[in-house]
A and B are shown apart, each in its own frame.
Chain A
């Protein structure tokens, strides 16, 4: 799959990225394991509300520790120096993915404020214009689709399904 870090940034940089993910996950798991242990148990049951999560986080910590050890052993020291550069290249080649996530984040954040129809119309127009070839027919398609999936879908849910999409405050 071309989305893998490995495809463009090199195998070792991909492994370093995974090593970083293991470290982040083990730190998070450690904190949540501690949190699970502090959940009080009930006198009505053998296991408390924290027992199952503690078991899960405990196993996760052990697995991540083993994954970190394996990764550290396999990554050559010279690879760390190239990582920052490879990472920058990886980010640059995936700029549209970041555009997509920024647009999605803004869309989800403003929808409760300005309502579904306006937020969706703007989201579709911006994102599709960004991605589309710069032609007149593409522009017309973008506008038609944006109206259908913003106003049209809102009407369908409102009138037919009685499900009210966010109307804005």
Chain B
């Protein structure tokens, strides 16, 4: 069965299709506003005429390539190409600005590669038990998990804990605009069509991160008219040296990948949360947490291995139980069903060759992504050499097209402009933007599970009497306490007792 699956994936035609898929995934995700989901949706009809495993292998190559592609704009432009590369901007972008764009990209690519390989290994070994554990979690555990994920805010706050928390709450508040997720009641739309459907997460992400970053790039009028480039310095990099640098961090790599697999295995969570949790854990475990956010290797490794590992994690409930963990997994499931394959707990038993083929396709996709990135990286790095007066307006157009293509809604364009302006104002006022985005991601999941839990049973004590829920809540409390302690220690270490006025 294994050999049959391997033979089909490793056939020349499948490998060529996978190579094209890998390139398409990387390019799609590298453009701000375009997501892995969009690339997969556009690929789906092209696979209808292929054999089932061939079609799935091509889609997996787009999937794996897409998780890495987000790194390119995150590192070179400071704009997360996809929601799963938000944390990559924290260190890869400063590294690029410090004159090492090649190294920043290279570290991210290698971390992505190892993250995907580790998640594939976990997928092969632990798919059934992990899937059974994941689906046993009720709304109480999910809510507590989100509380734990929200506690990350405490370590992403930047200069001021107060402003970080305010930003996170603004994110949560933004997520409540539009239709209520349980009963469909309209909220805070003020009878405006533009607000009726709520604020799509991707539009908020593009507006907050991309538009505000692009606006801040043109602050210096003299420099931009002189043809200032995005990054200066050596765009060259030494692939094998960087690989050794990444491998020299086995604990970070494995921890971040395991975080990615576990979060990816939870239906409804995914790469957008995994990269932030992995980054947060790496920062906490580091002996030099103050260096995070200034262009440290560990930050890039954690974020990229964490988000790439969710690709394998997301397949766990899909393969073991037929439950898609994310939109992308749902499209993969649809692709199998189009080919007449019944997805469910019997998938491994009835179609072992297909499942083994998927495992091999994951590993091959990862390898293909690595090869494509290594050979094309110099081309991507040329982006850093393009003058700002060229790149800023063009990326703005890409953001607008991406925001529109998401739902084909003109009102999303108006929201994009408004959110972009808000993002720039918050950036100028020194509010950290990452907690805000985290609030927008986690808000709907938190509200849905809190209300669902209390609809199932009105007893509030279940949140602390169910063991897994209690563990998540205690982890959240410990996480906040640790971050506050560190924040105070840092302030106490300052010569100024008070937080400096900025």
Known: A6-B430, A18-B429, A50-B187. A131 touches B454 (CB 8 A): no
Q: Does A149 contact B (CB under 8 A)?
A: yes
Q: A46-B454, A52-B176 are in contact. Are A35 and B188 (CB under 8 A)?
A: yes
Q: Which chain A residues border B388 with CB–CB below 8 Å?
A: 131
Query: Does residue B238 face the partner (Cβ distance < 8 Å to A)?
Result: no
C-alpha gap A124/B169 in the complex (Å): 36
Majority SS at the chain A contact face: helix
Measured in the bound complex, the distance between the Cα atoms of B447 and A53 in whole Å is 9
A44 contacts B455, C-beta separation under 8 Å? yes
Does B134 belong to the interface (CB within 8 Å)? no
A-B contact count (CB 8 A): 194
Q: Say which size band chain A's interface belongs to.
A: 35 or more
Beta-carbon contact of B430 and A131 below 8 Å:
no
Q: How far is the CB of A84 from chain B (nearest CB, A)?
A: 17
For chain B, give the interface size range: 35 or more
Segment 143-167 of A: residues with Cβ below 8 Å from B: 145, 149, 153, 157, 161, 163-166
* A14 and B225 alpha carbons, distance in the complex (Å): 27
Q: A97-B219, A104-B417 are in contact. Are A46 and B166 (CB under 8 A)?
A: no
Is the pair B501, A29 in contact by a Cβ cutoff of 8 Å? no
A57 CB to nearest B CB, Å: 6
Is residue B124 within 8 Å, beta carbon to beta carbon, of the partner chain? no
Which B residues from 365 to 421 make CB contacts under 8 A with A? 387-390, 392-394, 396-397, 400-401, 404-405, 408, 410, 413-414, 416-417, 420-421
Q: Find chain A residues with CB under 8 A from B502 CB.
A: 4-6, 11, 14-15
Closest to A153 in B: B401
Q: Across the interface, do B417 and A60 meet the contact criterion of CB distance under 8 Å?
A: no
A49 to chain B, nearest CB (A): 4
| Contact status A96-B501, CB under 8 Å | no
A95 in contact with B428 (CB, 8 Å): no
Bitwise, B325-352 to A at CB < 8 A (1) or not (0) is: 0000000000000000000000000000
Within 8 A of B (CB), among A61-106: 63-64, 66-67, 70, 74-75, 93-97, 100-101, 104-105
CA A29 to CA B136, docked complex, whole Å: 37
Please give 15 more A-B residue pairs, beta carbons under 8 A apart, in addition to A101-B424, A123-B393, A166-B410. Answer: A1-B216, A17-B428, A18-B163, A36-B188, A52-B446, A57-B173, A63-B165, A63-B166, A67-B162, A101-B420, A112-B410, A131-B225, A131-B392, A132-B389, A153-B401
CB<8 Å pairs between A and B, sample of 5: A18-B429, A95-B221, A101-B421, A120-B397, A131-B225
Interface of A with B (CB < 8 Å)?
1-6, 11-12, 14-15, 17-18, 21-22, 25, 29, 32, 35-36, 39, 42, 44-47, 49-53, 56-57, 59-60, 63-64, 66-67, 70, 74-75, 93-97, 100-101, 104-105, 107-109, 111-112, 116, 120, 123-124, 127-128, 131-133, 138, 141, 145, 149, 153, 157, 161, 163-166
